[in-house]
Structure 1
Amino acid sequence: MKVLVPVKRVVDYNVKVRVKPDGSGVDIANVKMSMNPFDEIALEEAMRLKEAGKVTEVVAVSCGVTQCQETLRTAMAIGADRAILVDTESDIGPLAVAKLLKALADKEQPQLIILGKQAIDDDCNQTGQMLAALLGWPQATFASKVVLEEGKVSVTREVDGGLETLSLTLPAIITTDLRLNEPRYVTLPNIMKAKKKPLDTVKPADLGVDVASRVKTLKVVEPPKRSAGVKVPDIATLVAKLRNEAKVI
């Protein structure tokens, strides 16, 4: 069984991002970039399924600029067998990524695609759902447990009321939540081995996909700073402020 794992290159989660002075976006010059943490969880789950003997090949995929090769090399150091980079001139939106992944899925014919539930840079939480719609495959989002069986996959996911378990017929799409697993550390020997693993590069045009953006960013601003709280002497004063000043009751 083949598993496809898309991974995204994002600003490292330890870095405090800064908005460009002209408001056109986030300044990533000389900023540390890493694999999206939710994608690390997705890749770790694919590796565990392979180590359990239920998966034969894990293919890592990234859509973006040439520097995404570094992220794919990290994925192969974690254990992916090979990698594919869809080389684009700039970052692209969730729908364009979903279309590219759909084209790759048609070509690679995986039985399972595991994605992080969202990327920490845009927090869109859209790619997995859009990909499932384009492929016509069943999907299970926010997975906290995955059990792969013959021809099916059982996914436990967290919902408002507790836990929900879904049984999907393969091929299927899964998006991962934080509680699914804890990703492993990358070792130096595996980093060296990853340099010898195949990394293919294709262009969107090779896949017959138009990635032109339909969304225009007008302005990027930092969130407003929180104002200081106010202490009140009693509940009556609190209720009065909520009613007369905040106007929330």
Structure 2
Amino acid sequence: MKIDLSGKTALVTGSTAGIGLAIVKGLATTGARVILNGRKDASVAQALADVTASVQNASVEGFVGDLGQAEGCESLVAAHPNVDILVNNLGVYGPQDFFETPDSEWSRFFETNVMSGVRLSRAYLPEMIERGWGRVVFIASESALNIPSDMIHYGFSKTAQLSIARGLAKRVAGTGVTVNSVLPGPTLSDGLIEMLKDATKPGQSIEETAAEFVMANRPSSIIQRAASVEEVANMVVYVCSTLSSATSGAALRVDGGVVDSIV
């Protein structure tokens, strides 16, 4: 099975680190031209250097802007008006008790995790439809189905992404454009590594520490470890490819079996 996206332009939001950066590298490997995004010049420059060093002949460029704001989305679309593949990866997360979560945090999570994807999908889908081919992917989370009691505001935003993706898939039915969600579970991203750094015992690898964390906090995990960012990116790259043309409106789990469901 060979994935070739030569001649396609892909945009991956919130992609200077973690799963987003892994997706950028994966798409660049297929020959796609990839636009990566971050909020700061330094992080975007570092990510561009990383991709260039990791992927031979990578066609990659950066856009600096806060896509959690309508103005940032507008500036991005003005700078890059045409994309074939949109990966809505931008997201914020963090535990906070429901009774201590102010309206401002609910709004921030909604604007960043939900409305960024809404605005960009609204901007880019019409031309995908006109061309008769396109891919839109929302990076959700197993927390969309398994709502965490300490991050209800986060779980809500991820469930909203599933609803939007499913509805959009129906809206563009029969056009050659597909819309899907990918739901990672516990993943060994930069954020998790930083969180577990102090919990790592002498002589213990970060992977072992992460596995202990997963079994303590997500005991239903079937793989009984954290996934790598590359494992998540592999699913996303496939969904973005020409090979996935019969998959649309799906919520594809890369959660290691955390969600205890047979569908």
What is the TM-score when the length of structure 2 is the normalising length? 0.37
Greater CA radius of gyration, 1 or 2? 1
What is the TM-score when the length of structure 1 is the normalising length? 0.39
Higher relative contact order (CA 8 A, sep 6+): 1
